[in-house]
């Protein structure tokens, strides 16, 4: 029940906001904020009673019984922290947008809360139909956020965002239906159940097509080089809150989808395409960093840095060993905190000066000392300084990649020389330090070149409240990773083991497509339900 | 042949609608009063009574196909299901018409009887199990709709639309009739079931196949499939918007019902469906052409009503995928088509309804620029239009999404590789369609108000729009009961 509560509480808040009069802006902001905060508090209860060895808090109710569609939610170590990241960031986003959103306040609150329901639902869905519904439900609010409250080129950016995402996701729905029909042919029941469909081993040929369709949807979302071109536009034109949610949470759906669906479902295709995807990931790391370095617009720069960071995540996933995947998930969380923080910092400057051009600033540290401190911490967190959140994940990914070859016993050898990849990817860490520190230097130090910059007020109490949780989490993720890895690790272990079983079943078999026997080894829902 | 009056009870809804039409016509002629505002509620009530009668016979219809008048008509669940769709479309269009006609000053009382006569034709078409009744139904429906198209007498483009529609329609009916004649000549039968039996012997006769293809062409005109679509954009654009809504939904749904019946019964044999000139193969090509052309043409429109006309062509293309699937997997594929027609009916009537609502006298406000900033003036209408646009584009959780999903599922179930290609093409088409549907949303929400909108104030209209919007969401979020009903209706 708690999962239903977390998923639909924001939607209820959105409906409530719709009923409130539009003039009562304070009340609207308050209602939305309280709803988001309540959702966060409710989501904290997931931590108690969470069972790291399977699905927890499972809800499974038939929705369209004749077609095997179930309302099926559940959480495991992979999705747990991503859900918490979402519920953690939404109140912060609402608080951060308190004054910057001053037109159509009611609509903003409604769209952000609907978006939250979509995001949480996508992470929790254990029924592929539900997953797809939530996945698409997410799209429309973000389209509105960019289109209504965005910058000058918002019309272009919003429609580009929708169309890019749609191309991938509609091909994915074809692949989902294909799986579903194939499953029915072999098992004679209609089901969209995640576990049930994962028993299906398709022939290599089919796997390649289905993996292609899934991976295209996810790689556009990530975005993996060269599918990233929508991202700078969307990020730059979106309002601060939109950028934060887009970068911190929505990009993660791509990598989450790869890890949860595309790779475990189609091991053979994964083996085939991993070299390509991992090379693209490394290109993304280096390309993203270099392009970020050349930007004159702060937001564009952070957008390209996201391409680089997400490159690490994809690289980690492609190496398919526990360490690298742990690292990939960790980078997802850390990137959510640090990039969210960076966009909020830029939002603070933008609110004061209404420009995103880097050369309009300079010497800000002298007039805004508190801000300078916060911004420095978040910048360093993004670079990956040890003791801050960025370090752990990237380190795990790089060591996981470097030592990947030895971990592939019983698995395909995805790549002949993973060490080479690690070597190139490491340069991304250095490059990120270069462009981020260069940004910090140009914004914060040096003489004040613009007269208006002399009178900028420092962080208000509200803004401090926005940044405090982010800074705390940046340190927490950096200093004490085992809080998180303790639950992530078993889930990743299970996923890797299941992959291995499925891959071997596929390699030896000549009678594909076929069904694997009921996976009894993986402790599925019953245990989780006891906990409930 | 014998006439059994007891069988009249089985076509009671059809009689109610036709008698209701005559009654309204007389009432309007003899009442003498200039106030005609009572006609719309009466039309809705007649439709409601007919729907009630249909629903009452639902459980009886489970026991085999009920043959009426020596196999001329049937009252099976397929016809009951579709009759409800036609009647709903008619009632909603009537509700839209009242306010629209008052605003644009052409309050002709004949409009409502004509809607009822057209609906009667559709119901006959839906129940027709003989080539003769199919022809009768098509003619009854079409002639009434030709007049409806031209009912806005003072608007030149309404007359132009009626003329174009009439000429093309007459032409297509002639082709259809020629096809019927050839099929009859080859087989000596007009009953669909009988044709289905004889097709095993006659299936390879060139005359029989030619007749079948000519019938296909004739019906292709009615559903506005490419390359028989030329009349549709002009007719939809020129007709009064509530009539466009009725044409785009009722007429199309009726023609699709006939196609399902005809090709699921009379021409169901595999060699006729997937042979060299099999109808499923031909329809697959037509489906690709129809959706691709419809979407690409809609992409270029600045006139919202014309855009909806092209979009309705594109939707005929998606629907044809279901018909093609029927050629491969059998009558099971009818269920998704029925569901799609329901979803499409509510959504399209709603979309045309908002178009009708926005215009005011002497200014129909059809250009996309006229929609700019609508959300800040009329948030409820903008929200409703957004729901319709998302549903037409197939975005969850609206009805349009589930309809597409259900349709693609049945298409993929056939496991033929070319069906997979068909579905992929349909999906890519959906992406294109989202681009132009969102143009309307973009205009309403993201742009500043251009000219101040002065929409029509009419209770019937608002109610119809609310019903459409709620239904579009409701059957999208809880699609189970309707898909179950649609599946029952195909047995």
Helix A267-293 × helix A418-444 angle, to 10°: 30
Distance CA A307, CA A319 (A): 18
User: pLDDT of A457-485, one tens digit each?
Assistant: 888 888 899 999 999 999 999 899 888 99
Exposure string over A310-338, b if 16+ CB within 10 A, otherwise e: bbbbbbbbbbbbbbbbbbbbbbbbbbbbb
B249 inside 8 A of chain A by CB? no
pLDDT at B203: 67
Tell me whether residue B250 is in a domain: yes
Residues found in chain A: 532
Running DSSP on this structure, what letter comes out for residue A57? E
A184 inside 8 A of chain B by CB? yes
Whether the CB-CB separation of B324 and B416 falls below 8 Å is answered with no
Distance CA A491, CA A414 (A): 22
Which chain A residues are within 8 Å of B371, Cβ to Cβ? none
Distance of CA A110 to the CA centre of its chain: 22
pLDDT at A529 over 60: no
Exposure string over A231-259, b if 16+ CB within 10 A, otherwise e: bbbbbbbbbbbbbbbbbbbbbbbbbbbbb
pLDDT at B275 over 90: no
Percent of chain A with pLDDT over 70: 97
Instruction: Count other Cβ atoms within 10 Å, centred on residue B394.
Output: 30
Task: Count residue pairs from A and B with Cβ separation < 8 A.
Answer: 85
pLDDT at A519: 58
Q: How far away is chain B from the Cα of A368, in angstroms, using its nearest Cα?
A: 35
A516 inside 8 A of chain B by CB? no
Whether the CB-CB separation of B344 and B92 falls below 8 Å is answered with no
Distance CA A247, CA A229 (A): 14
Mean pLDDT of chain A: 88
Distance CA A383, CA B482 (A): 54
Closest A-chain CA to B386: A140
Residues found in chain B: 491
CA B185 to each of CA A500, B268, B269, B420: distance values in angstroms, whole numbers, following the listed order: 65, 19, 19, 38
Inter-chain CB proximity A163 and B435 less than 8 Å:
yes
B483 inside 8 A of chain A by CB? yes
- Of B412, B413, B393, the closest CA to residue B403 belongs to B393
Closest B-chain CA to A158: B442
A294 inside 8 A of chain B by CB? no
Instruction: Count other Cβ atoms within 10 Å, centred on residue A455.
Output: 8
Tell me whether residue B77 is in a domain: yes
Distance of CA A318 to the CA centre of its chain: 17
User: pLDDT of B392-426, one tens digit each?
Assistant: 999 988 999 999 999 999 998 877 788 889 999 99
Running DSSP on this structure, what letter comes out for residue A518? P
Average pLDDT over residues A163-181: 90
pLDDT at B81 over 50: yes
3-class DSSP state of A137:
helix
pLDDT at B2: 62
Percent of chain B with pLDDT over 70: 99
Average pLDDT over residues B237-245: 93
pLDDT at B413: 86
Whether the CB-CB separation of B293 and B229 falls below 8 Å is answered with yes
pLDDT at B65 over 90: no
CA B44 to each of CA A246, A499, B23: distance values in angstroms, whole numbers, following the listed order: 48, 60, 14
Instruction: Count other Cβ atoms within 10 Å, centred on residue A23.
Output: 10
Q: Which domain holds residue B325?
A: 9-489
3-class DSSP state of B107:
coil
- Please, which pLDDT band fits residue B1 given cuts at 50, 70 and 90? low
- Please, which pLDDT band fits residue A272 given cuts at 50, 70 and 90? confident
Tell me whether residue B81 is in a domain: yes
User: pLDDT of A290-305, one tens digit each?
Assistant: 999 998 888 999 999 9
Tell me whether residue B121 is in a domain: yes
Extract the tokens encoding A379.
Answer: 């910048």
Pick the residue of A18, A133, A191 with the most B CBs within 10 A to test the interface with B by mutation: A133
Whether the CB-CB separation of A214 and A175 falls below 8 Å is answered with yes
Instruction: Count other Cβ atoms within 10 Å, centred on residue A162.
Output: 26
Inter-chain CB proximity B446 and A154 less than 8 Å:
yes
User: pLDDT of A185-211, one tens digit each?
Assistant: 888 888 899 988 888 888 888 889 999
Mean pLDDT of chain B: 90
Residue linked to tokens 């029989």:
B208
A183 inside 8 A of chain B by CB? no
- ∠ CA A160-A162-A167, rounded to 5°: 95
Whether the CB-CB separation of B80 and B490 falls below 8 Å is answered with no
- Please, which pLDDT band fits residue B49 given cuts at 50, 70 and 90? very high
User: pLDDT of A424-444, one tens digit each?
Assistant: 888 888 899 999 999 998 888
Which chain B residues are within 8 Å of A159, Cβ to Cβ? 435, 438, 442
Would you call A437 exposed, middle or buried from its count of C-beta atoms within 10 A (0-12, 13-18, 19+)? middle
Distance CA A123, CA A339 (A): 20
Tell me whether residue B4 is in a domain: no
Extract the tokens encoding A124.
Answer: 């929790």
pLDDT at A26: 87
- Of B87, B137, B94, B124, the closest CA to residue B112 belongs to B94
pLDDT at A522 over 60: no
ipTM: 0.90
CA B360 to each of CA A217, A343, B216, B285: distance values in angstroms, whole numbers, following the listed order: 44, 46, 40, 42
Inter-chain CB proximity A66 and B445 less than 8 Å:
no
Inter-chain CB proximity B401 and A147 less than 8 Å:
no
Distance CA B93, CA B249 (A): 10
Q: Which of B396, B438, B483 sits opposite A136 (nearest CB)?
A: B396
pLDDT at B240: 93
Whether the CB-CB separation of A325 and A316 falls below 8 Å is answered with yes
Residue A71, H or E segment: strand A69-75
User: pLDDT of A27-39, one tens digit each?
Assistant: 889 999 999 999 9
Inter-chain CB proximity B415 and A137 less than 8 Å:
no
Average pLDDT over residues A280-290: 92
Which chain B residues are within 8 Å of A104, Cβ to Cβ? 376
- Of A218, A229, A219, A243, the closest CA to residue A101 belongs to A243
Residues 6+ apart with CB under 8 A from B292: B317, B425, B429
Which chain B residues are within 8 Å of A167, Cβ to Cβ? 428, 431
Tell me whether residue B1 is in a domain: no
Extract the tokens encoding B56.
Answer: 């009452």
Tell me whether residue B307 is in a domain: yes
pLDDT at A524: 44
Q: Which of A65, A166, A180 sits opposite B431 (nearest CB)?
A: A166
For residue B429, the number of C-alpha atoms closer than 13 Å in the C-beta half-sphere is 29
Which chain A residues are within 8 Å of B405, Cβ to Cβ? 129, 173, 177
A178 inside 8 A of chain B by CB? yes
Tell me whether residue B3 is in a domain: no
CA dihedral B395, B397, B399, B405 (to 10 degrees): 60
pLDDT at A353: 86
Inter-chain CB proximity B412 and A177 less than 8 Å:
yes
Q: Is the dihedral of CA A211, B477, A145, B452 positive or negative?
A: positive
- Of B414, B391, B386, the closest CA to residue B402 belongs to B391
Tally of domains within chain B: 1
């Amino acid at each position: 029940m708690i999962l239903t509560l977390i998923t639909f509480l924001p939607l209820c808040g959105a409906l409530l906001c719709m009923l409130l009069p539009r003039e009562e802006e304070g009340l609207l902001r308050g209602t939305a904020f309280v709803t988001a905060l309540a959702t966060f508090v409710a989501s904290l209860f997931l931590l108690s009673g969470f069972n790291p060895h399977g699905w927890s808090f499972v809800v499974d109710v038939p929705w369209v019984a004749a077609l095997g569609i179930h309302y099926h939610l559940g959480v495991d170590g992979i999705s747990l922290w991503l859900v918490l990241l979402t519920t953690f960031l939404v109140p912060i986003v609402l608080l951060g947008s308190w004054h910057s959103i001053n037109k159509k306040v009611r609509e903003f609150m409604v769209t952000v809360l609907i978006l939250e329901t979509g995001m949480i639902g996508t992470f929790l869905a254990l029924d592929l139909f539900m997953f797809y519904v939530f996945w698409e439900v997410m799209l429309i609010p973000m389209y509105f956020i960019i289109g209504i409250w965005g910058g000058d080129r918002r019309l272009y950016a919003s429609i580009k965002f929708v169309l890019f995402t749609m191309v991938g996701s509609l091909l994915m729905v074809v692949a989902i239906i294909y799986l579903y029909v194939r499953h029915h042919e072999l098992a004679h029941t209609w089901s969209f159940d995640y576990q049930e469909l994962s028993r299906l081993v398709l022939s290599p040929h089919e796997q390649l097509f289905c993996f292609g369709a899934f991976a295209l949807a996810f790689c556009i979302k990530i975005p993996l080089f060269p599918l990233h071109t929508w991202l700078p536009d969307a990020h730059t034109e979106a309002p601060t809150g939109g950028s934060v949610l887009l970068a911190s949470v929505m990009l993660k759906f791509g990598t989450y989808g790869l890890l949860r669906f595309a790779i475990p479902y189609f091991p053979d295709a994964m083996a085939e395409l991993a070299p390509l995807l991992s090379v693209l990931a490394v290109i993304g790391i280096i390309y993203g960093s270099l392009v970020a370095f050349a930007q004159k617009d702060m937001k564009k720069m952070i957008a390209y840095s996201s391409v680089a960071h997400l490159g690490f995540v994809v690289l980690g996933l492609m190496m398919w060993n526990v360490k690298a995947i742990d690292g990939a998930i960790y980078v997802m969380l850390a990137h959510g905190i640090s990039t969210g923080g960076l966009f909020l910092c830029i939002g603070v400057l933008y609110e004061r000066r209404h420009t995103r051009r880097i050369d309009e600033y300079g010497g800000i540290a002298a007039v805004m000392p508190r801000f300078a401190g916060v911004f420095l911490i978040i910048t360093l967190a993004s670079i990956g300084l040890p003791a801050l959140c960025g370090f752990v994940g990237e380190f795990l990914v790089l060591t996981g990649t470097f030592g990947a070859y030895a971990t592939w016993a019983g698995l395909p050898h995805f790549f002949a020389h993973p060490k080479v990849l690690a070597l190139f990817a490491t340069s991304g860490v250095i490059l990120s330090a270069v462009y981020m520190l260069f940004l910090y230097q140009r914004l914060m130090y040096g003489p004040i070149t613009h007269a208006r910059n002399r009178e900028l007020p420092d962080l208000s109490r509200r803004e401090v409240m926005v940044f405090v949780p982010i800074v705390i989490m940046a340190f927490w993720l950096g200093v004490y990773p085992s809080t998180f890895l303790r639950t992530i690790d078993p889930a990743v272990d299970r996923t890797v083991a299941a992959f291995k079983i499925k891959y071997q079943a596929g390699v030896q078999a000549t009678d594909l497509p076929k069904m694997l026997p009921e996976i009894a080894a993986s402790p599925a829902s019953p245990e989780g339900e006891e906990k409930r | 042949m014998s006439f059994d009056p007891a069988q009249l009870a089985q076509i009671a809804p059809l009689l109610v609608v036709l008698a209701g039409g005559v009654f309204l016509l007389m009432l309007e002629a003899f009442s003498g009063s200039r106030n005609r505002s009572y006609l719309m509620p009466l039309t809705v009530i007649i439709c409601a009574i007919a729907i009630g009668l249909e629903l009452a016979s639902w459980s009886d219809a489970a026991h085999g196909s009920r043959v009426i008048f020596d196999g001329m008509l049937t009252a099976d669940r397929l016809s009951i299901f579709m009759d409800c769709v036609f009647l709903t479309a008619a009632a909603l269009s009537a509700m839209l018409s009242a306010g629209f006609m008052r605003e644009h000053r052409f309050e002709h009382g004949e409009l409502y009887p004509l809607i009822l006569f057209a609906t009667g034709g559709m119901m006959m078409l839906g129940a027709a199990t003989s080539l003769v009744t199919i022809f009768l139904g098509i003619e009854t429906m079409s002639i009434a709709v030709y007049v409806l198209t031209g009912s806005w007498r003072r608007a030149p483009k309404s007359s132009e639309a009626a003329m174009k529609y009439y000429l093309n329609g007459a032409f297509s009916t002639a082709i259809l009739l020629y096809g019927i004649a050839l099929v009859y000549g080859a087989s000596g039968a007009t009953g669909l079931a009988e044709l289905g039996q004889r097709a095993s012997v006659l299936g390879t006769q060139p005359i029989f196949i030619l007749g079948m293809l000519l019938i296909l062409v004739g019906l292709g005109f009615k559903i506005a499939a490419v390359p028989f679509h030329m009349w549709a954009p002009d007719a939809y654009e020129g007709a009064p918007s509530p009539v466009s809504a009725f044409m785009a939904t009722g007429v199309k749904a009726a023609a699709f019902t006939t196609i399902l019946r005809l090709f699921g019964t009379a021409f169901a044999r595999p060699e006729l469906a997937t042979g060299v000139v099999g109808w499923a193969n031909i329809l697959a090509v037509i489906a690709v052409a129809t959706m691709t052309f419809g979407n690409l043409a809609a992409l270029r429109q600045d006139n919202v009503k014309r855009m909806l006309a092209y979009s309705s062509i594109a939707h005929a293309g998606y629907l044809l995928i279901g018909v093609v699937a029927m050629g491969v997997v059998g009558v099971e594929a009818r269920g998704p088509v029925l569901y799609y027609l329901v979803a499409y009916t509510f959504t399209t009537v709603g979309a045309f309804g908002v178009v009708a609502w926005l215009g005011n006298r002497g200014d129909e406000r059809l250009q996309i620029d006229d929609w700019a900033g609508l959300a800040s003036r009329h948030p409820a209408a903008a929200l409703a239009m957004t729901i319709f646009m998302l549903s037409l584009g197939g975005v969850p959780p609206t009805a349009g999404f589930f309809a597409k999903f259900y349709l693609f599922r049945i298409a993929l179930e056939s496991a033929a590789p070319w069906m997979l290609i068909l579905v992929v093409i349909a999906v890519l088409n959906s992406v294109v369609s989202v681009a132009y549907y969102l143009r309307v949303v973009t205009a309403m929400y993201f742009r500043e108000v251009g000219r101040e909108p002065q929409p029509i104030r009419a209770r019937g209209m608002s109610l119809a729009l609310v019903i459409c919007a709620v239904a579009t969401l409701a059957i999208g979020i809880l699609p189970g009961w309707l898909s179950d009903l649609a599946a029952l209706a195909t047995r």
